[in-house]
Amino acid sequence: MTDSQNPFDALGGAGGFDMNALLQQAQQMQEQLAAAQERLADAEVEGTVANVTVKVTGVGEIIAVDIKPGGFDANDAESLADLGDMVVAAYRDAKAKADAMATDALGPLAGGLPGMPGGSPDQPGQIGF
């Protein structure tokens, strides 16, 4: 029996566990994640319902709302309420597309972590170190 109670001995002892390689891999993953998040912030996605188009970034921030003429009466309260519903529905359509884009872009980097795009609250996180 040795006098050392170093917990890293179980990982291969001297030379069996390369902390520098682990840190380097973590740094690379962080850089890839930052680049993917930047691409998402710059991406644009549209959702359309009837005469309404909503444009959002890849992270779901509204950029623009386009309402084509016709299809509603600006003097009718019910027609305006319907227009509001169309704006909400078009936003939800665009947001769903942005979420799918985020899952595709970030999912592999999240490694299945719960709460991250590509992760699931039903599955424990997996970090591929």
Which CATH number is 105's domain given?
3.30.1310.10
Number of domains present in the structure of the chain: 1
72 is a domain residue = yes
Domain of residue 103 covers 44-109
Please state, in angstroms and as integers, the Cα–Cα distance from residue 99 to each residue in 4, 7, 31, 46, 103, following that order: 50, 41, 21, 12, 6
Establish if 94 belongs to a structural domain.
yes
Tell me whether residue 67 is in a domain: yes
22-77 pLDDT, tens digit per residue, is: 888 788 888 778 887 788 778 888 999 988 999 998 888 899 999 998 878 888 89
> Taking a C-beta distance cutoff of 8 angstroms, is the pair 118, 103 a contact?
yes
Q: Are 42 and 71 in contact (CB under 8 A)?
A: no
Residue 127 has pLDDT above 60, yes or no: no
Query: pTM score, two decimals?
Result: 0.60
Residues in the chain: 129
Tell whether 19 is covered by a domain: no
Q: Is residue 54 part of a domain?
A: yes
